[in-house]
Amino acid sequence: MKNFFYLIAFAVIALTTTSCRSKVPSGYVGIKVYQFGSDKGVANEVLGVGKYWIGINEDLFLFPTYQVNYVYTKSATEGSPENEEFTFQTKEGMECSVDLGVSIQFEVSKIAKMFQKYKKGVDDIRAVVVRNEIRDALNKIASYMPVESVYGEGKTKLVDSVQNTVKASLLADGIEINKIYLIGSIRIPDAVKEALDSKVKMTQEAQRAENEVAKAKAEADIATAKARGRGDSILIVAESQSKANEMLSRSITPTLVSYRAVEKWSGNLSLYSGGSVPFLNLGNVK
């Protein structure tokens, strides 16, 4: 009998030491998973915030209910210490690499179903499921784009297309991709980068020269217009003066001259006065 009590006590101690009280913190939900037996698999119940006993046959997986941001980079100081950059090939078969960031949110009502499908927690879903979807979409879309577009103005289109593709692929599983964004620049082979940079520089210089020619032409056109305006102004004044003189000439008649002379006469007469109508000064004749 004594040995029986020892056995019971040992079983209780073993059970309590192999079980623990786990907590689902604020901002998370929990999924209880049974490891063995007829109940093996995911419990239908999603655990809210609180404390729960997790037995020897159970595991608790936590999933955030808020948006999670993560970066896949080449750098060991961002995201994972491992190199998580994405590599892909362009239309010409040129190998490129890029660092990307992602914003993920899990739909609470689909978390149990998502776990049943992938059998993975948050870190593995991000590192495997989401990463694989991004990599596949990136390779597929970039294979139709030339390297010049990927390196230049087409990079925004590339990232947006990848985002839309991955979002549509994972939405049904309760993995919501809110944003995929570019970190830094897309990396291309140095020789190709130098060639593209040189082309851009020559284009900019040609555009600058073209702008200078256009500016000089515009300034010349303005100067010509001003000179033409001054010439037209002088011509208008001259023509007006000419017409005025002509009209004045036609208006001066002998009668008008005589009338003006009489108007200006002071009453003193010379013996003779010039003009077309001479006056005889009778006062000096005796």
pLDDT exceeds cutoff 60 at 116: yes
What's residue 215's pLDDT?
A: 73
What's residue 156's pLDDT?
A: 94
Residue 105 burial (CB < 10 Å; 0-12/13-18/19+)? middle
Question: Is 88 strand, coil or helix?
Answer: strand
User: In percent, how much of the chain has pLDDT > 70?
Assistant: 67
At residue 242 the predicted structure's pLDDT band, cuts being 50, 70 and 90, is: confident
The region of weakest confidence among 45-59, 177-191, 248-262 is: 248-262
* Residues 6 or more apart whose Cβ sits within 8 Å of residue 186: 96, 97, 98, 150, 151, 155
At residue 14 the predicted structure's pLDDT band, cuts being 50, 70 and 90, is: very low
pLDDT exceeds cutoff 60 at 13: no
What's residue 237's pLDDT?
A: 74
Encode pLDDT of 187-199 as tens digits: 988 877 676 666 5
For 134-148, what is the mean pLDDT? 95
> What CATH architecture is 68-188?
2-Layer Sandwich (3.30)
At residue 251 the predicted structure's pLDDT band, cuts being 50, 70 and 90, is: low
pLDDT exceeds cutoff 90 at 279: no
For 236-254, what is the mean pLDDT? 71
pLDDT exceeds cutoff 80 at 214: no
Provide the residue ranges of all domains of the chain, joining segments of one domain with +.
2-64, 68-188, 252-286
C-beta neighbour count of 170 within 10 angstroms: 18
Name the helix (H) or strand (E) containing 212. Answer: helix 190-251
